[in-house]
Structure 1
Amino acid sequence: MEKRLFIASICLLLLSVYSNAQDTSQKGKPKNSGVVFNLNEDGSHYVKLSGLGQIWLRNTQMNPGTTINGYETDSYSDISIRRLRFQIFGQITDKVFFYSQFGQNNFNFHSPKYDGAFFHDALIEYAVDKEKLSFGAGLTGWNGLTRYASPSTGSIMSLDAPLYQQATNGVNDQFLRKLSVYAKGQLGKLDYRIALTQPMTVSGAPEAPTGTDFSFSNEPPKKQVQGYFKYMLMGKESNLTPYEAGSYLGKKSVFNIGGGFIYQQDAMWALDNNAEIVNKDMVLFGLDIFYDKPLTDETALTAYAAYTNYDFGNGYVRNVGVNNAATGSGGATVGGYGGAFPMVGTGNTMYAQAGYLFGENIISEGGKLQPFAALQYSDYDYLDDSMVMYELGANYLIQGGHNSKLSFVYQSRPTYKNEAGENVLDTRKGMAVLQYQVSF
């Protein structure tokens, strides 16, 4: 019954989207997003408002032992808000820029009612040289490590950005944003960002470590140092905000090679064989390549690949279930409950995604189709078998841009069990998501 309701909901949404495409097809291609208020005659000083909404219809095959409100559940369909964001930013003087973002993530049927919206970003920036060097401070996404440690959520190509690159998301930061002092700029083809960060109090950390596997320490945190550097071999990308585009949809040619790091002294702790507390530095490295190029006037190719090496200490792994539809587990689970899987951990990860944009006037006038695939392969020391997650899907760009986008994605993830003291692959589970995105 639930699956039939889920399919019916998809059909209704498709009909609504198709009608919207027909109604607006005569209005031309989408213009630049946002509402701009000029503060001077030439528009160099301005304040801009923009917004984003992403709605999910989803069916999830639950991990073994999953419960919802105490009831064991094998499969469940739900409706949720993945993201709701509003941005206000602007160039106040020739030197001063501010950026703020307010909204909510992952509002589903068991989220706290009348609660949840918060500031994602709140920063002030001063340009010493507008292109080469700016300094800023506040709650910000100017992070190190890799491209999608700070993704532009409105232009993501796959179901979501490769969230494993947001390695401390929700642990000692606020949905990847961190309290930082940063410097950023572009020196010719080299784009750089470096930051000194004050880690937040670790969510859910015990007063002392409880075992020999490392976890985040609850001691007063030492500062993080982080940076990301990319060399732009083709066209330049904007660094007005920290968030990196997922796909340009054939509007520009970009080819970047990047690398970065995050380091925090004594970020982790565990017990040694004598039950004494030992500390460990958190050391994260990443390398990546991004390629986005129009092939014809109407088609384009987008591709991305990354390698990361994470050292949180022996035995560290973090199970992540994005916008999880479940509330708990009826028993011990190695890979988490609901739609979770071991996303982040000590070890090596290789990730790749690719998509192809087909020409205009698919389904409706101005419509474009972008099928894609993504794969995460991780070798974590906590697991005795490798972790492989893959996604297959497509974006339907109703008017040719990200401002009205329908996405369907199937994600396959592994589950694990403990046999004779080893964490080994058990089975695979799937999740199907239909997302509708509107932005302005």
Structure 2
Amino acid sequence: MKKILKSIFTLVSGCVTPVFAQEITPSTSETSKPKSEMRYNLSPDGSKYIKATFLNQVWARWNESNPGTTVNGEPKSHTTDVGLRRTRMQLYGQISDRTFFYTQFGLNNFNFLAQNAGNRKLSAFFHDALGEYKVLKNNDKLKIGAGLTITSGLSRFSQPSIGTIMTTDVPVFLQATVDQTDEFARKLSVYARGQLGKLDYRIAISDPFPIQTNGQTAPVLSNNASFTTFGHTKQYQGFFMYNFLDKEPHTTPYMTGTYLGDKKIVNLESGIIYQKNATWYTTDGTTPIYQDMLLWSVAAFTDVPLQNNKYALSAYLGYFNTDYGHNYIRNNGIMNPANGNNNPGNFNGPGNTYPMFGTGESVYAQVGLRLAPDLLGDQGTLMPYVSYRQSGYERLDDPVKILDGGVNWLINKHQSKVSLNYQLRTVFNQQTDGAVIRKHDASSAWLQYQVSF
């Protein structure tokens, strides 16, 4: 213990020469020695260590507002804003042959409207805090952990390494209960994960938070399903992935967005989340009908170098079946630049919100191509990409369609990059007869600068 405390003090006090890691989530193997990192070894061979990382993603954005949008009461047909999409700090390490710890602290979606209980200074919190025990000392076949963790059953993008994502933002609809019955996609869980040959697995029993503790007024019981405020049940999750070529790293539960040609990855994956009596609705206005939540998916992912690493291809295709209950819909807008709406027919809500989550079926795909590593000389290279999502939800008469296209300027891989993204989203109108139909598409564009070490 003395040695551990001394090591932490040395790291914090700056006696260790600070060098920088490539990404916020340690997707590279700890034994593969990334080019640079802020790390203090606790053993001569580096198998025991403590490591710190930092990430900041700044957005400058233009958004075409949903109909009737207001900002502090003023009508706005479009908005511009600057915000911190994510700011994170990590401290984690392998402190014995079998014991691993991981913590992450930070904030999200911090723009001019960001506030918590009316106070803009109360936005940062612990995202993760877990301890993990390696059952078999010399391999990763079985690790048992517990704590506040993003370990999830639905997909790789439900537990994403946000410092390595290709598309400036993850498909947030795959963080299925985000800030409803979890804490920014994290849950208090007991889990087992590991790698059995080419099979990567994770199984978790999670203790979801009641929706009435998420800082917002809980939805009232209605003829459309919402998360119940009555009772409490556990959530069961499982995720399974088969690695045909290289195995993906297994240091933390986080999963890399793109390896930029550093690995040869071809995977098939499947995931499931189940919770009994998670939601409720009514047909007579008073009597609740309880429903189970069942979410499952199948997907394929590839991330490989081409022509001796002259290029690198990254691609993903997934199918998602999300049953939250009868006609469940949740509208959400990323770092919403508006806070009011005076158009009663606008189903989306204010700003950039749209039906992000719902009962139904979805398909999501993304593809990108990293160009030659020396394309821009010592200024790095480019990686253009495109992604598309289509969701057919029970409550909507038309599908949700989200199209993103952009380019990453990889100045120093993921450690320093500038990204430009353009997005089209579906805007819905609710008719007097209750039908919810597509009205038009709205657009937004943002420039992101990411720094991570």
TM over 0.5: yes
Q: Which amino acid aligns with 2:180?
A: V
Q: For residues 253-285 of structure 1, give each alpha carbon's deviation from its aligned partner in whole angstroms, at most 9, with x where no partner exists.
A: 000000010000000011123631110000101
SS at match of 1:164: helix
Residue among 268, 276, 290 paired with 2:301: 290
Q: Is the 8 A contact 1:209 1:270 kept in 2?
A: no
Structure-1 separation of matches of 2:410 and 2:155: 27
Residue among 302, 305, 323 paired with 2:314: 302
State yes or no: 1:133 paired with 2:142: yes
Q: Which amino acid aligns with 2:422?
A: Y
Partner of 1:417: 429
Partner of 1:104: 107
Instruction: Measure how far apart 1:366 and its partner are.
Output: 4.9
> Once structures 1 and 2 are overlaid, which stretch shifts more, 364-373 or 204-213?
204-213
Partner of 1:387: 400
Q: For residues 206-259 of structure 1, give each alpha carbon's deviation from its aligned partner in whole angstroms, at most 9, with x where no partner exists.
A: 678431111000123200000100000111001211111111001010000000
Q: For residues 14-69 of structure 1, give each alpha carbon's deviation from its aligned partner in whole angstroms, at most 9, with x where no partner exists.
A: xxxxxxxxxxxxxxxx9545310111222111100011100000000010111100
Q: Is the 8 A contact 1:58 1:77 kept in 2?
A: yes
Q: Which amino acid aligns with 1:65?
A: G
Partner of 1:219: 230
SS at match of 1:365: helix
Structure-2 separation of matches of 1:148 and 1:136: 21
Instruction: Measure how far apart 1:299 and its partner are.
Output: 0.7
Q: For residues 154-200 of structure 1, give each alpha carbon's deviation from its aligned partner in whole angstroms, at most 9, with x where no partner exists.
A: 00001211111100000000111110000000000000000000001
Q: How has the CA–CA distance of structure 1 residues 76 and 33 changed in structure 2, closer, same or farther, with 3 Å as cutoff?
A: farther
Structure-2 separation of matches of 1:99 and 1:207: 32
> Once structures 1 and 2 are overlaid, which stretch shifts more, 198-207 or 343-352?
198-207
Partner of 1:67: 70
State yes or no: 1:85 paired with 2:88: yes
Q: Which amino acid aligns with 1:120?
A: H
Partner of 2:245: 234
Partner of 1:329: 341
State yes or no: 1:183 paired with 2:192: yes
Q: Which amino acid aligns with 1:62?
A: S
Residue among 286, 290, 314 paired with 1:275: 286
Q: Is the 8 A contact 2:222 2:285 kept in 1?
A: no
Q: Is the 8 A contact 2:88 2:106 kept in 1?
A: yes
Residue among 146, 156, 171 paired with 1:162: 171
Partner of 2:13: none
Identity between Structure 1 and Structure 2 (%): 43
Instruction: Measure how far apart 1:131 and its partner are.
Output: 1.1
Partner of 1:17: none
Partner of 1:312: 324
Structure-2 separation of matches of 1:49 and 1:215: 39
> Once structures 1 and 2 are overlaid, which stretch shifts more, 412-421 or 145-154?
412-421
Instruction: Measure how far apart 1:438 and its partner are.
Output: 0.5
Structure-1 separation of matches of 2:294 and 2:35: 40
Instruction: Measure how far apart 1:331 and its partner are.
Output: 3.4
Q: Is the 8 A contact 2:328 2:358 kept in 1?
A: yes
Map 1:304-383 → 2, pairs under 5 A: 304-332=316-344, 333-383=346-396
Partner of 1:118: 125
Q: For residues 263-315 of structure 1, give each alpha carbon's deviation from its aligned partner in whole angstroms, at most 9, with x where no partner exists.
A: 00000011123631110000101111100110022211000011000111111
Partner of 2:161: 152
Q: Is the 8 A contact 1:131 1:186 kept in 2?
A: yes
Q: Is the 8 A contact 1:358 1:369 kept in 2?
A: yes
Structure-1 separation of matches of 2:427 and 2:285: 33
RMSD: 1.5
Q: Which amino acid aligns with 2:164?
A: S
Structure 2: gaps of 5 or more residues = 1-32
Q: Which amino acid aligns with 2:418?
A: L
Structure-1 separation of matches of 2:93 and 2:290: 43
TM-score, length of structure 1 as denominator length: 0.91
SS at match of 2:173: helix
Map 1:398-437 → 2, pairs under 5 A: 398-399=411-412, 401-419=413-431, 420-437=433-450
Partner of 1:4: none
Count of residue pairs the alignment pairs up = 410
Q: Which amino acid aligns with 1:305?
A: L
Structure-1 separation of matches of 2:145 and 2:420: 38
Q: Is the 8 A contact 1:209 1:217 kept in 2?
A: no
Q: Is the 8 A contact 2:410 2:418 kept in 1?
A: yes
> Once structures 1 and 2 are overlaid, which stretch shifts more, 131-140 or 104-113?
104-113
Instruction: Measure how far apart 1:416 and its partner are.
Output: 0.5
Structure-1 separation of matches of 2:60 and 2:51: 31
Partner of 2:275: 264
Structure-1 separation of matches of 2:223 and 2:36: 51
Q: Is the 8 A contact 2:219 2:226 kept in 1?
A: no
Q: Is the 8 A contact 2:221 2:288 kept in 1?
A: no
SS at match of 1:412: strand
Q: How has the CA–CA distance of structure 1 residues 384 and 372 changed in structure 2, closer, same or farther, with 3 Å as cutoff?
A: same
Q: Which amino acid aligns with 2:252?
A: T
Q: Is the 8 A contact 1:143 1:149 kept in 2?
A: yes
Structure-2 separation of matches of 1:319 and 1:386: 14
Structure-2 separation of matches of 1:208 and 1:430: 29
Structure-2 separation of matches of 1:339 and 1:221: 33
